[in-house]
Every structure is written in C-alpha cells, then in structure tokens.
Amino acid sequence: MAQQRQSNKVHVVVLPYPAQGHINPLVQFAKRLASKGVKATVATTHYTVNSITAPNINVEPISDGFDEAGIAQTNNNVELFLTSFRTNGSRTLSQLIQKYQQTPHPVTCIVNDAFFPWALDVAKQHGIYGATFFTNSAAECSIFCRIHYGLIELPIKKEDLPLLVPGLPPLDFRALPSLLKFPQSYPAYMAMKLSQFSDLDKADWVFVNTFEALEGEAVAGLTDLFPAKMIGPMIPSSYLDGRIKGDNGYGASLWKPLNEECNKWLQTKPPQSVVGVSFLWVLRDSELSKLPGGYKDLVKDMGLIVSWCNQLELLTHQAIGCFVTHCGFNSTLESLSLGVPVVCLPQWTDQSSNAKFLEDVWEVGVWPKEDENGIVRKQDFVTSLKVVMEGERSLEIRRNANKWKKLSREAVSEGGSSDNHINDFVNHLMSA
C-alpha cells in the first residue's frame, strides 16, 4: 500500500503518433503504468482525443497545427505535418506540463513515440525525464539505426547481399524493408524513420514493443548503438496475463468496429475453419466498388466482408484457423500472442522483414512467393493456405504458434521479463 501511494506521485505523459498502429501500443503502455499506481496521461491531437476511452488514464489534447481536419489537411505531406507538429506540439506539450506544475501531480516523465524526437527536448527544458518508445520491432530498429549512423549504406547493392546485421538472420533482397530496396520511393518517410535515432542520447530510457524470448538476440545487437528495454507485447491484458481489470480492448479506435456482425457470422462456423484476412488499410464502404462485380453477393454464404472489425476478437474466436496479414508489427504481435498461424502478404516498410521472421525464425506461417511483378498469384496463395490449414506442416506451425502464445504471456505476467523492465522504470521514477 505504501508503494502504491508513492507511485501515485509519479505522473507520466505518453505522446503517440496520431495513427491507429501507434496509438494502440502507447495507450496500452499508459494502461500498464496506471495499473501500477502511476498517474498516466495520453497527450494526442484534437482530432484523435475523443477516440481514446481507456479507463484509468487521462487524455489531453495538444496541437499539431491541423486541429480541425487532422492529418488529411496536409494532403499526405508527411514533411509538412511533422514540421507543423514539432512547432505546435512542442509549444502545447510545454503548456500541458505547465498546467500540471502546481497540482498534486506534476509531470515526472514524457514517453514519446519515436517519430517525435523533439519531445525529448521539451522534457529536458522542463527538467523532467524523457523516454522514447519504438512501436516497431527490435530488428527494424537495428537496421535503421545502422543506416542513421552510416553503418549501412544505401542503396543496397547485389554484392552487399545477404545483409548481415548483428542479432538478425541474413536478409536477402526479398526480406529487406521496402525503404532499403527503394530508398527514394518515400523520401519524407525515410527521413522520419531515420530521425527516430537523432536524439536518443537525450533519452533516459528507450522502450521497444517486443519481448526477450522473441527478439532478445536483436536487442543484444543494439547494445553498441543504444540501450533498449523490451516491454511488450503491448496488447490488452485480458488477452495475456489478465491482471488489469476490465482491459478487454485497446480503448482507442478511430473507426467503429462491427463486432456484432462479425461474431454472429463466426458463430455459425466450425472451429479453426475460417481464414481471417486483414487489408493494410480500412476497406471503406466507398472502396467496396473496387471488388469484382457481384463478388460480395457471390461469397456471402462462404465469407463475410466488412469495412472494419475488432481484430483481437477476430483472432481469438475459435472459428479462426489462420490469419492472412500484411505483417505490420502490431498485427504480428497480436497473431503471435494469440497463437494464430499466419499467411504473410507484406506490402511495404518493415512488413517484409516481419514476414521473414514469421516464416523462418518464429516458424508460425508461410510467406508465398511473388511473381516478377511482385504479385502473389492465386495458386501460390491457395497452396500457402493449405500448408497452414491442413496436413503435417500445419500441426507443426500450430505448435509453434501456441509456444509463442505461452511465451508472450509469460513476458508480461508478474515476474516476466517485460513486466520487470516496466517495474524498474516505475521504481526509478518513484525514488527520484
């Protein structure tokens, strides 16, 4: 009880990049901190603040300069958005810290999304701690950090392959993150990726949303570049250790889930008979016209097409036999933590390297080959589905999936590696 009262004096502000894949793990981290008695506040943009309804955490708006329309007002100009957020976010984050300065809960520490390195400057200006949070894998951190420091030169040449990075398996051209294959394809996004490492020397802690059993070797390969603490997987507690009461979802959704429709349909299907397919982006109703004519009606007895659903509930349903995923790292962690085999269809950024790990390192799925145009053909896709869903190989894949499910739960349970790292962080703040 004394420790609980002392931790209540600690106030951590968590600053996510305003996109679903970044909001989810950072809000979940805030909930983990709150479960340990820490006062946790999520600082986010005006247009995402109302989407966060997680219990036991505060939500405060700050400005990115596009408060009315959000990111869309930048017309997908990442450079403009980040410049505006740095200017306006620094100012309004400072105002938020000052707001709490004379209260019983002054801000103790800022935990910033790695896309916002400027938040570390704000922390230092106010004489408080700063911690950086990476939402991608330790493997991805290791690759891009080495690019930042000039240890890997771009573009990657044939004679440089396979790419050898400490703690990672050899990476052939197919397994490289897309920004390494085509570094000029998204120059603003590449600059944003590399800027994550620009101010890490100012960070008092660096957190990565992964866990030791999964990526211990990758983190070990980072020790010569920066100290990283593994605190993941950041997934709602009810799907893992169950220690946070009522933590049944991320508590942050930019879209309205269609849970009832999904669940009603899944209840009619036998166990492990359904293939769950997730597109990289939301399949909005306005985009359903891109499907072949009459397709939705044609498959209505065999499949269900929805614009959005709760992926966690989908993956834990007994009817799901495997997950066809774009291999974003949040989806990767969810499938591993819930013990669901996968078929990998990566598109860009870190997804190819995640697919490599899912198939060859963690051995929980299949990554079908693409043709010369980068397209996975129907027969190769069907063959991969059958490998995962039927026969001897599928049994081995499912055993491996269940192994990672067990290990992920152990990591965040009391005394687990990730839980210990979070406790160390809280204890340090308490004793400061």
Residue numbers annotated as active site: 22, 113
Structural contact between residues 384 and 358, judged by C-beta atoms closer than 8 angstroms: no
- 205 forms beta bridges with 131
On the 0-12 / 13-18 / 19+ scale of CB atoms within 10 A, 220 is middle
* Secondary structure in 3-state letters for the chain: CHHHHHHCCCEEEEECCCCHHHHHHHHHHHHHHHHCCCEEEEEEECCCHHHECCCCCEEEEECCCCCCCHHHHHCCCHHHHHHHHHHHHHHHHHHHHHHHHCCCCCCCEEEEECCCCHHHHHHHHCCCEEEEEECCCHHHHHHHHHHHCCCCCCCCCHHHCCECCCCCCCECHHHCCHHHHCCCCCHHHHHHHHHCCCCHHHCCEEEECCCHHHHHHHHHCCCCCCCCEECCCCCCHHHCCCCCCCCCCCCECCCCCCHHHHHHHHCCCCCCCEEEECCCCCCCHHHHHHCCCCHHHHCCCCCCCCCCCCHHHHHHCCCEEEEEECCCHHHHHHHHHCCCCEEECCCCCCHHHHHHHHHHHCCCEECCCCCCCCCCCHHHHHHHHHHHHCHHHHHHHHHHHHHHHHHHHHHHCCCCHHHHHHHHHHHHHHHC
Query: Which of 196, 245, 246 minimizes the C-alpha distance to 222?
Result: 196
Pair 132, 120: CB distance under 8 Å: yes
Q: Token pair for residue 297?
A: 């009606």
Tokens describing residue 338: 């819930």
28 touches 11 (CB < 8 A): no
Backbone angles phi, psi at 387, to 5 degrees: -60, -40
